[in-house]
Amino acid sequence: MKTFQLLQPQAGLRVFISGAAAGIGAAVAEAFLEAGAAVFVCDVDLVALQSMQARHPDCFTGLANVARADEVEHVIAQALEKLGGIDVLINNAGIAGPTAAVEDIATGDWERTIDTNLNSQFYFLKHAVPALKQSSDNASIIAISSVAGRLGYPYRTPYASTKWAIMGLMKSLAMELGPVGIRVNTILPGVVEGPRMEGVIAARAQALGVTADEMRNEYLKKISLRRMVTAQDVAAMALFLASPAAAHITGQSISVDGNVEYL
Protein backbone atom coordinates (compact mmCIF):
# COMPACT_ATOMS: atom_id res chain seq x y z
CA MET A 1 0.00 0.00 0.00
CA LYS A 2 1.31 3.46 -0.88
CA THR A 3 2.13 5.58 2.15
CA PHE A 4 -0.52 8.23 1.64
CA GLN A 5 -3.25 5.67 1.06
CA LEU A 6 -2.89 4.98 4.79
CA LEU A 7 -4.49 8.37 5.45
CA GLN A 8 -7.91 7.07 4.37
CA PRO A 9 -10.00 4.67 6.49
CA GLN A 10 -10.56 1.26 4.94
CA ALA A 11 -13.61 1.03 2.70
CA GLY A 12 -16.36 -0.92 4.44
CA LEU A 13 -15.37 0.21 7.93
CA ARG A 14 -18.44 -0.01 10.20
CA VAL A 15 -18.91 3.29 12.00
CA PHE A 16 -21.43 4.33 14.67
CA ILE A 17 -21.83 8.04 15.47
CA SER A 18 -24.06 9.46 18.19
CA GLY A 19 -25.86 12.80 17.84
CA ALA A 20 -25.03 12.90 14.15
CA ALA A 21 -28.07 14.18 12.27
CA ALA A 22 -26.70 17.74 12.22
CA GLY A 23 -23.66 19.83 13.08
CA ILE A 24 -20.27 18.22 13.71
CA GLY A 25 -21.77 14.73 13.85
CA ALA A 26 -23.36 15.04 10.43
CA ALA A 27 -20.12 16.37 8.93
CA VAL A 28 -18.24 13.40 10.41
CA ALA A 29 -20.85 10.96 9.09
CA GLU A 30 -20.71 12.48 5.61
CA ALA A 31 -16.90 12.26 5.58
CA PHE A 32 -16.96 8.56 6.46
CA LEU A 33 -19.69 7.86 3.90
CA GLU A 34 -17.58 9.57 1.24
CA ALA A 35 -14.64 7.38 2.28
CA GLY A 36 -16.71 4.24 1.67
CA ALA A 37 -17.58 3.36 5.26
CA ALA A 38 -20.86 1.83 6.39
CA VAL A 39 -22.34 4.39 8.78
CA PHE A 40 -25.10 4.32 11.39
CA VAL A 41 -26.07 7.59 13.08
CA CYS A 42 -28.47 8.22 15.92
CA ASP A 43 -30.10 11.42 17.08
CA VAL A 44 -32.97 12.65 19.25
CA ASP A 45 -34.27 14.90 16.45
CA LEU A 46 -36.53 12.88 14.13
CA VAL A 47 -36.84 15.65 11.54
CA ALA A 48 -33.06 16.03 11.35
CA LEU A 49 -32.68 12.26 11.02
CA GLN A 50 -35.19 12.19 8.18
CA SER A 51 -33.28 14.98 6.45
CA MET A 52 -30.02 13.07 6.89
CA GLN A 53 -31.61 9.94 5.44
CA ALA A 54 -32.97 11.90 2.48
CA ARG A 55 -29.53 13.37 1.73
CA HIS A 56 -27.72 10.07 2.25
CA PRO A 57 -29.99 7.07 1.56
CA ASP A 58 -27.08 4.70 2.22
CA CYS A 59 -26.72 5.95 5.82
CA PHE A 60 -28.48 3.95 8.54
CA THR A 61 -30.32 5.99 11.16
CA GLY A 62 -31.91 5.42 14.55
CA LEU A 63 -33.89 7.62 16.94
CA ALA A 64 -32.56 7.80 20.50
CA ASN A 65 -32.39 10.10 23.49
CA VAL A 66 -28.77 9.48 24.43
CA ALA A 67 -29.41 10.49 28.05
CA ARG A 68 -31.51 7.33 28.49
CA ALA A 69 -29.58 4.09 28.99
CA ASP A 70 -32.41 1.93 27.63
CA GLU A 71 -32.65 3.90 24.39
CA VAL A 72 -28.89 3.73 23.87
CA GLU A 73 -28.94 -0.04 24.36
CA HIS A 74 -31.76 -0.32 21.82
CA VAL A 75 -30.10 1.84 19.16
CA ILE A 76 -26.79 -0.02 19.49
CA ALA A 77 -28.69 -3.27 18.94
CA GLN A 78 -30.22 -1.73 15.80
CA ALA A 79 -26.79 -0.69 14.58
CA LEU A 80 -25.32 -4.14 15.13
CA GLU A 81 -28.17 -5.66 13.16
CA LYS A 82 -27.69 -3.25 10.24
CA LEU A 83 -23.88 -3.07 10.22
CA GLY A 84 -23.04 -6.59 11.37
CA GLY A 85 -20.58 -5.18 13.90
CA ILE A 86 -18.83 -1.95 14.88
CA ASP A 87 -15.25 -0.99 14.05
CA VAL A 88 -15.36 2.68 15.07
CA LEU A 89 -17.48 4.26 17.81
CA ILE A 90 -17.68 8.05 17.71
CA ASN A 91 -19.21 9.49 20.87
CA ASN A 92 -20.32 12.87 19.60
CA ALA A 93 -23.70 13.66 21.16
CA GLY A 94 -23.79 16.69 23.41
CA ILE A 95 -25.55 19.91 24.31
CA ALA A 96 -24.28 23.38 25.16
CA GLY A 97 -25.93 23.45 28.57
CA PRO A 98 -26.82 26.63 30.46
CA THR A 99 -24.88 29.88 30.41
CA ALA A 100 -25.05 31.45 33.87
CA ALA A 101 -23.20 32.13 37.07
CA VAL A 102 -22.91 28.93 39.11
CA GLU A 103 -25.39 30.12 41.76
CA ASP A 104 -27.97 30.79 39.05
CA ILE A 105 -27.76 27.41 37.30
CA ALA A 106 -30.90 25.34 37.79
CA THR A 107 -30.25 21.86 39.16
CA GLY A 108 -32.24 20.36 36.30
CA ASP A 109 -30.08 22.12 33.71
CA TRP A 110 -26.93 20.83 35.40
CA GLU A 111 -28.27 17.26 35.46
CA ARG A 112 -29.45 17.39 31.84
CA THR A 113 -26.00 18.52 30.71
CA ILE A 114 -24.26 15.73 32.66
CA ASP A 115 -26.74 13.12 31.42
CA THR A 116 -26.43 14.13 27.77
CA ASN A 117 -22.75 14.95 27.51
CA LEU A 118 -21.12 12.49 29.91
CA ASN A 119 -23.46 9.68 30.94
CA SER A 120 -24.34 9.03 27.31
CA GLN A 121 -20.70 8.34 26.51
CA PHE A 122 -20.65 5.64 29.18
CA TYR A 123 -23.89 4.11 27.90
CA PHE A 124 -22.54 3.83 24.34
CA LEU A 125 -19.22 2.45 25.54
CA LYS A 126 -20.91 -0.16 27.71
CA HIS A 127 -22.89 -1.58 24.80
CA ALA A 128 -20.48 -1.01 21.90
CA VAL A 129 -17.15 -2.14 23.39
CA PRO A 130 -18.06 -5.87 23.21
CA ALA A 131 -18.61 -5.42 19.45
CA LEU A 132 -15.39 -3.43 19.08
CA LYS A 133 -13.50 -6.28 20.73
CA GLN A 134 -14.69 -8.52 17.88
CA SER A 135 -13.43 -6.13 15.19
CA SER A 136 -10.32 -6.92 13.16
CA ASP A 137 -10.32 -3.59 11.31
CA ASN A 138 -8.20 -1.14 13.34
CA ALA A 139 -10.90 -0.78 16.01
CA SER A 140 -11.09 2.59 17.67
CA ILE A 141 -13.15 4.93 19.81
CA ILE A 142 -13.21 8.65 19.17
CA ALA A 143 -14.76 10.90 21.80
CA ILE A 144 -15.71 14.44 20.92
CA SER A 145 -14.79 16.66 23.85
CA SER A 146 -14.03 20.38 23.47
CA VAL A 147 -11.33 22.96 23.94
CA ALA A 148 -13.34 23.55 27.14
CA GLY A 149 -11.93 20.18 28.21
CA ARG A 150 -8.47 21.70 28.64
CA LEU A 151 -9.36 25.27 29.65
CA GLY A 152 -11.54 26.88 32.28
CA TYR A 153 -14.82 28.25 30.92
CA PRO A 154 -16.55 30.77 33.20
CA TYR A 155 -20.36 30.86 33.05
CA ARG A 156 -20.29 27.48 31.25
CA THR A 157 -19.34 25.25 34.19
CA PRO A 158 -21.71 22.33 33.46
CA TYR A 159 -20.45 22.06 29.88
CA ALA A 160 -16.78 22.40 30.81
CA SER A 161 -17.13 19.85 33.62
CA THR A 162 -18.45 17.22 31.21
CA LYS A 163 -15.74 17.90 28.67
CA TRP A 164 -12.96 17.56 31.26
CA ALA A 165 -14.56 14.32 32.46
CA ILE A 166 -14.60 12.92 28.92
CA MET A 167 -10.83 13.45 28.78
CA GLY A 168 -10.34 11.34 31.91
CA LEU A 169 -12.73 8.67 30.69
CA MET A 170 -10.97 8.26 27.38
CA LYS A 171 -7.44 8.39 28.83
CA SER A 172 -8.37 5.57 31.20
CA LEU A 173 -10.01 3.52 28.47
CA ALA A 174 -6.95 3.82 26.24
CA MET A 175 -5.06 1.97 28.98
CA GLU A 176 -7.86 -0.51 29.63
CA LEU A 177 -8.56 -1.39 25.99
CA GLY A 178 -5.09 -1.07 24.50
CA PRO A 179 -4.14 -4.69 25.32
CA VAL A 180 -7.08 -5.92 23.19
CA GLY A 181 -6.13 -3.66 20.29
CA ILE A 182 -8.73 -0.92 20.62
CA ARG A 183 -7.42 2.62 20.27
CA VAL A 184 -9.10 5.48 22.15
CA ASN A 185 -8.62 9.17 21.36
CA THR A 186 -10.38 12.44 21.99
CA ILE A 187 -10.92 15.34 19.61
CA LEU A 188 -11.20 18.81 21.15
CA PRO A 189 -12.96 21.13 18.71
CA GLY A 190 -12.50 24.83 19.31
CA VAL A 191 -14.92 27.57 18.35
CA VAL A 192 -16.88 25.86 15.57
CA GLU A 193 -18.79 28.16 13.26
CA GLY A 194 -22.48 27.49 12.87
CA PRO A 195 -25.90 28.01 14.48
CA ARG A 196 -24.99 26.32 17.76
CA MET A 197 -21.99 28.61 18.30
CA GLU A 198 -24.07 31.65 17.43
CA GLY A 199 -26.50 30.61 20.16
CA VAL A 200 -23.67 30.25 22.66
CA ILE A 201 -22.30 33.67 21.73
CA ALA A 202 -25.72 35.27 22.12
CA ALA A 203 -26.30 33.64 25.52
CA ARG A 204 -22.91 34.61 26.87
CA ALA A 205 -23.28 38.15 25.54
CA GLN A 206 -26.56 38.44 27.42
CA ALA A 207 -25.01 37.03 30.61
CA LEU A 208 -22.18 39.57 30.46
CA GLY A 209 -24.25 42.52 29.25
CA VAL A 210 -22.50 43.07 25.91
CA THR A 211 -23.63 42.84 22.29
CA ALA A 212 -23.38 39.62 20.28
CA ASP A 213 -20.90 41.26 17.89
CA GLU A 214 -18.68 42.31 20.79
CA MET A 215 -18.79 38.79 22.20
CA ARG A 216 -18.00 37.24 18.81
CA ASN A 217 -14.94 39.48 18.49
CA GLU A 218 -13.88 38.50 22.00
CA TYR A 219 -13.97 34.83 20.99
CA LEU A 220 -11.89 35.49 17.88
CA LYS A 221 -9.27 37.42 19.87
CA LYS A 222 -8.69 34.29 21.94
CA ILE A 223 -7.78 32.19 18.88
CA SER A 224 -4.22 32.41 17.57
CA LEU A 225 -5.40 32.06 13.96
CA ARG A 226 -8.21 34.59 14.58
CA ARG A 227 -10.81 32.42 12.89
CA MET A 228 -13.30 29.75 13.82
CA VAL A 229 -12.90 26.15 12.68
CA THR A 230 -15.52 24.28 10.67
CA ALA A 231 -17.31 21.01 11.29
CA GLN A 232 -15.41 19.64 8.28
CA ASP A 233 -12.09 20.37 10.03
CA VAL A 234 -13.22 18.14 12.89
CA ALA A 235 -14.42 15.48 10.45
CA ALA A 236 -11.00 15.40 8.77
CA MET A 237 -9.35 14.64 12.11
CA ALA A 238 -11.86 11.87 12.82
CA LEU A 239 -11.08 10.30 9.44
CA PHE A 240 -7.36 10.40 10.20
CA LEU A 241 -7.79 8.84 13.65
CA ALA A 242 -9.78 5.96 12.12
CA SER A 243 -7.24 5.40 9.36
CA PRO A 244 -4.28 2.99 9.23
CA ALA A 245 -2.00 6.04 9.48
CA ALA A 246 -3.15 6.41 13.10
CA ALA A 247 -2.62 2.74 13.98
CA HIS A 248 -0.28 3.66 16.85
CA ILE A 249 -2.09 6.74 18.08
CA THR A 250 -4.08 6.16 21.27
CA GLY A 251 -4.67 7.89 24.57
CA GLN A 252 -4.36 11.29 22.90
CA SER A 253 -6.45 14.45 23.14
CA ILE A 254 -6.07 16.36 19.90
CA SER A 255 -7.23 19.95 19.57
CA VAL A 256 -8.73 21.20 16.31
CA ASP A 257 -9.12 24.81 17.30
CA GLY A 258 -6.69 27.22 15.68
CA ASN A 259 -5.00 27.31 19.12
CA VAL A 260 -7.57 28.74 21.49
CA GLU A 261 -5.44 30.48 24.11
CA TYR A 262 -8.11 30.96 26.79
CA LEU A 263 -11.90 31.07 27.16
Active-site annotation, residues: 159
State CA 113 to chain mean position distance.
15
Q: List phi, psi (to 5°) of 254.
A: -115, 120
Q: List phi, psi (to 5°) of 44.
A: -90, -15
Identify the sign of the CA torsion 107, 190, 27, 40. negative
Helix (H) or strand (E) holding 10: none
Do the Cβ atoms of 255 and 50 come closer than 8 Å? Answer: no
Rounded distance between C-alpha atoms, residue 64 and residue 122, angstroms = 15
Do the Cβ atoms of 129 and 106 come closer than 8 Å? Answer: no
Count of alpha carbons within 13 Å of 38, Cβ hemisphere only?
Answer: 13
Do the Cβ atoms of 139 and 181 come closer than 8 Å? Answer: yes
